[in-house]
Structure 1
Amino acid sequence: MRLAEIFERVVGQDAPVHFRAYDGSTAGDPTSDTAVVVRTPVALNYLAQSPGALGLTRAYVSGHIDVEGDMYTALKRMADVTFSEGHRLSPLEMARIARSIGWVKFVNRVPPPPQEVLPTRLFNLGARHAKGRDAEVIHHHYDVSNAFYELVLGPSMTYTCAVFPTADATLEEAQEAKYELVARKLDLREGMRLLDVGCGWGGMVRHAARKGVKALGVTLSKEQAEWASKRIAQEGLSDLAEVRHMDYRDVPDGAYDRISSIGLTEHIGKKNLPAYFASLYAKLKPGGRLLNHCITRPRNDLPPMHRDGVINRYVFPDGELEGPAEIQREMNDAGFEIRHQENLREHYALTLRQWCANLDRNWDAAVREVGQGTARVWRLYMAGCVLGFERNVVQLHQILGVKLDGTDAHMPLRPNFQ
């Protein structure tokens, strides 16, 4: 059986993408502006070893499958047809396809590409979310290359959801709007002390310092800390702003008026959430506020995320997502009074679209910086995440909590965040 025939059996004869294979066969729409190209038989080895998303990812990252045209458009069109009721193959049909590919594909095993973090490697680093293991998985994702992140993230060097005041706002305007929204929710004022946990390249720290706030950011990424420290010095903010390469758990308690946690909770793990929020609660003065900003799942009763899936193997090892009520409950149980919550799901889809455009525009430079395989991981992962946020597979929640001063929350009668 030729590969184009298999493609048609899986997605139908009217697929809205073009398909080409090394055996010369073609399928789908020949006029489409996107194409899936199977370049070598090794792609079939990967699919035989790991049917589904993992096998496809391995084949794409290693260059045995290519996607021509816009990655998001290709993924969206393929998702529309492969998840439709009319194109779901039975186990018997899948077995027939496997036999037609040839059983040799099942025995000729090929190793995963080097960008994949194998479960055995994580196991050898100790228990999930132990300090040493956390440091290593953060290093895997965030110490790729500061120059690469500049190509993807743009001048703001902010790797979290932006807040778009209008749909046509620039990425930099939207990231600045996000930091200002966090500042308003926290009611940051001159003379206060802010702790920003998981601070990345120091965007929130510098934003706060420009308001006269004494701000400390902590990150497990050495490269982030070095980049942030240089930028703080360049902007003349060293008297107020500091970024340290350290674990948030090692920050002294009881010293801060405000805490921001922007994109860290995803790395904490469900069983560690009580200790995480208790630690942040202990670091605040009475009357202090915490703004927790993190990716969430749309429901709280979903089964646990697959710990051995593509995202965990290629992007965020040990990453975990919880529903918004789970996050809010753990904050509440740690002592915080919850004062505000909002979902910024659509804003993250817009943010990711901008990052995808930056990567495509700077593709050659990105490949020179980190190599073809790593650049492909990012192209696939970010385009897939756009779909995830658009289709409500994932969300983004900001939750504001207060450490009461006796019974006083020191909050206005009505929020003035906007």
Structure 2
Amino acid sequence: MSSGKSMLVSEMVGEFIEPNPHLRVEAFDGSAFGPEDADLVVKVTSPNAIYQLLMHPNEIGAVRAYVLGDFDIKGIDYADPYPELRKLLSLAPYVKKPTPAAVAKVAAAILSHGLHRPPVPQTEGPSKFARIKSGLLPHTEKADSETVSYHYDQSNEFYADFLGPSMTYTCAVFDNENMSLEDAQANKLRLILDKLGLKPGERLLDIGCGWGSMVITAARRGIKALGVTLSKEQAAYAQEWIRREGLEDLAEVRVQDYRDVPEHDFDGICSIGMMEHVGVKNYQSYFEEMFRLLKPMGRLLNHQITISHDRPDGKPGTDEFLDRYIFPDGDLGAPGFIESCIHDAGFNVVHQENLRQHYALTLHHWNHNLSEHWDDAVRQVGFERAKVWGLYMAACSLNFEIDGIQIHQFLAVRPDRVGHPDGKWYPLRQWWKA
């Protein structure tokens, strides 16, 4: 860039970041910012990186540039960029609050070369506004079916690459940091079933059952388990798994919206990693539906990601990256609000716990697995999508660690309003092994 208004990329970086010993930026124009021995080296490989950030000076601009390779980081593992994200986070003290004059100076330098619209990654989905414009109102049955399919109906083999043999796409529960992922996932399923306290012959509904790990585990205990999912890929996998196990008399998985389940009087319901798709404004009606489906004294176990603090603007607890690339219409609520909704639906909430650290550990295992199976993951979904997934999981693990998000389990009982003074309602103290 060589006009009167032009700036080197290193000069642009200097308008927004203080010189420091930790960061070096090397640009396509031959300029560099920061020392050669910095432990984080960012390479701006194309002018498109600048235009991406000009068009979207937020996470979308940065994600587009990263996914398309317009900037790169020296030594990064695309399947597990967690170390680099940690280093980027540590640069926060060196970020300047840009002055209007600095922003205008940089924008003028960029626009002196003309306004270019950089490409959009093929793996990026439409914005929320575009989905609504096309008739997909958030959290209607049609919209939920399409958004769930967008996330899950990619390739069962791809999910196996990072989930491992358990095919369990929710937070595991670790006894200690050295516990294997498979043992921790089995421990999570055991914990949920123990909290529900179901006996052989009793009936369980698993809403958003995924690939069927809970349905299979429950059926092995003699529990009659029904799982529902909106993903055809997941249902096909689960049905084949049930057949392999010879559990057809006890287990069933359907492609069905939870609002269309015709059965009722279940002894227990679990909702594991499902509420993120429901929408905060629908929490109350969701739990009222669970109340209707359970028999009196039946138990509900709700396991979901939460935000650590309510947002003062009242907007949903999600960001644009997750909405466009990972979970369209995803939405998170704060734990206090969720517990109030469960209570107001008529339940007695008898226990809740925060498993925040456990999800960070789970995600580290998934990133490691993705790295181990990177070549197959790219064959399954393409380089862009695999790269997005590595970024998504690493960013989430970091967010759990810094307490930006949490994950809670809520155990609730539908009372029958009789009272049960003899203690037969449920045991006086915790009846499961933590």
For the criterion TM > 0.5, the same-fold answer is yes
Aligned to 1:227: 237
Query: Partners in 2 of 1:414 and 1:302 — Cα distance?
Result: 37
Question: Kindly tell me: are residues 86 and 130 of structure 1, through their superposed partners in 2, closer, same or farther at Cα, counting changes over 3 Å?
Answer: closer
- Whether 1:259 and 2:269 are equivalent positions in the alignment is yes
Match of 1:170?
180
Distance 2:330 2:255 in 1: 20
* C-alpha distance in structure 2 between counterparts of 1:237 and 1:384, whole Å: 38
User: Which of the residues 11, 32, 54 maps onto 1:26?
Assistant: 32
How high is the TM-score relative to the length of structure 1?
Answer: 0.94
Structure 1 partner of 2:108? 99
Give the 5 Å matches for 1:129-148.
129-148=139-158
2:428 to 410, 413, 416: 413
Instruction: Judge conservation of contact 2:317–2:331 (CA < 8 Å) in 1.
Output: no
Match of 1:180 among 165, 179, 190: 190
CA distance 1:256–1:55, change in 2 (3 Å): same
Cα distance, 1:7 vs structure 2:
2.8
RMSD of the TM alignment (CA)? 1.9
State the 1:85 CA deviation. Answer: 6.6
Q: Given the superposition, is the C-alpha separation of residues 307 and 293 from structure 1 closer, same or farther in structure 2, using an over 3 Å criterion?
A: closer
Structure 2, unaligned runs of 5 or more: 1-6
Q: In the aligned structure 2, how far is the partner of 1:381 from the partner of 1:400?
A: 29
Q: Residue 43 of structure 2 corresponds to which residue in structure 1?
A: 37
Q: Rg: which structure is higher?
A: 2
SS of structure 2 residue aligned to 1:206: helix
Do the aligned partners of residues 173 and 338 (structure 1) sit closer, same or farther apart at CA in structure 2, a change above 3 Å counting? same
Aligned to 1:108: 116
Given that residues 8 and 28 in structure 1 are in contact (C-alpha distance below 8 angstroms), is that contact kept between their aligned partners in structure 2?
no
1:386 — aligned with what?
397
Q: Which moved more, 1:231-240 or 1:341-350?
A: 231-240
Instruction: Give the secondary-structure state (helix, strand or coil) at the position aligned to 2:270.
Output: strand
Larger RCO of the pair (alpha carbons < 8 Å, separation 6+): 2
1:292-307 equivalences in 2 (<5 Å): 292-300=302-310, 302-303=312-313, 304-305=315-316
User: Take 1:375 and 1:410, find their aligned partners in 2: how far apart are those partners?
Assistant: 48
Instruction: Give, in angstroms, the shift of residue 329 of structure 1.
Output: 0.7
Give the equivalent residue in structure 2 for 1:14.
Answer: 20
Matches of 1:193 and 1:386 in 2, distance apart? 34
- CA spacing shift, 1:204–1:32, aligned 2, 3 Å: farther
Decide which moves more: 403-412 or 69-78.
403-412
Instruction: Determine the structure 2 residue equivalent to 1:5.
Output: 11
Query: Is 1:362 the counterpart of 2:365 in the alignment?
Result: no
Q: Structure 1 residues 195, 29: closer, same or farther in 2, change over 3 A?
A: farther
* Residues 339 and 400, structure 1, Cα contact 8 Å, conserved in 2: yes
Is the CA contact (8 Å cut-off) linking 1:33 and 1:69 kept in structure 2? no
Contact 1:305 1:321 in 2 (8 A): yes
Q: C-alpha offsets along residues 105-139 of structure 1, whole Å, 9 cap, x if unaligned?
A: 6x211342222222254111431111011100001
Deviation at 1:322, TM superposition (A): 0.4
Q: How many residues align?
A: 416
Assess, with a 3 A threshold, how the Cα gap between structure 1 residues 225 and 30 changes in structure 2: closer, same or farther: farther
Q: Which residue of 2 aligns with 1:246?
A: 256
Alignment partner of 2:76 out of 60, 69, 74: 69
Matched with 1:400 is 411
Q: Which residue number corresponds to residue 288 of structure 1?
A: 298
Residue 167 and residue 306 in structure 1: after superposition, are their counterparts in 2 closer, same or farther (change >3 A)?
closer
> Which residue number in structure 1 is paired with residue 359 of structure 2?
348
Write out per-residue CA displacement over residues 150-200 of structure 1, whole angstroms, 9 at most, x where no aligned residue: 001111111111111111111111111111110111112211100000011
- SS of the aligned residue for 1:84 comes to helix
- Structure 2 CA distance for aligned equivalents of residues 350 and 121 of structure 1: 35
Matched, 1:191 2:201: yes
How far apart are the structure 2 equivalents of 1:101 and 1:301?
35
State the one-letter code of the partner of 1:110: P
27-36 or 309-318, which moves further after superposition?
27-36
Asked whether 1:273 is paired with 2:280, we answer no
Contact 1:60 1:376 in 2 (8 A): no
Q: Could you tell me which amino acid in structure 2 is paired with residue 48 of structure 1?
A: L
Distance (Å, rounded) in 1 between the aligned partners of 2:55 and 2:207: 40
Q: State the alpha-carbon separation in 1 of the partners of residues 16 and 83 from structure 2.
A: 19
Offset at residue 92 of structure 1 (A): 2.8
Paired position in structure 1 for 2:4 = none
- In structure 2, the partner of 1:89 is 98
Distance 2:198 2:125 in 1: 40
Q: Residues of 2 paired with 1:357 and 1:17: CA distance?
A: 25
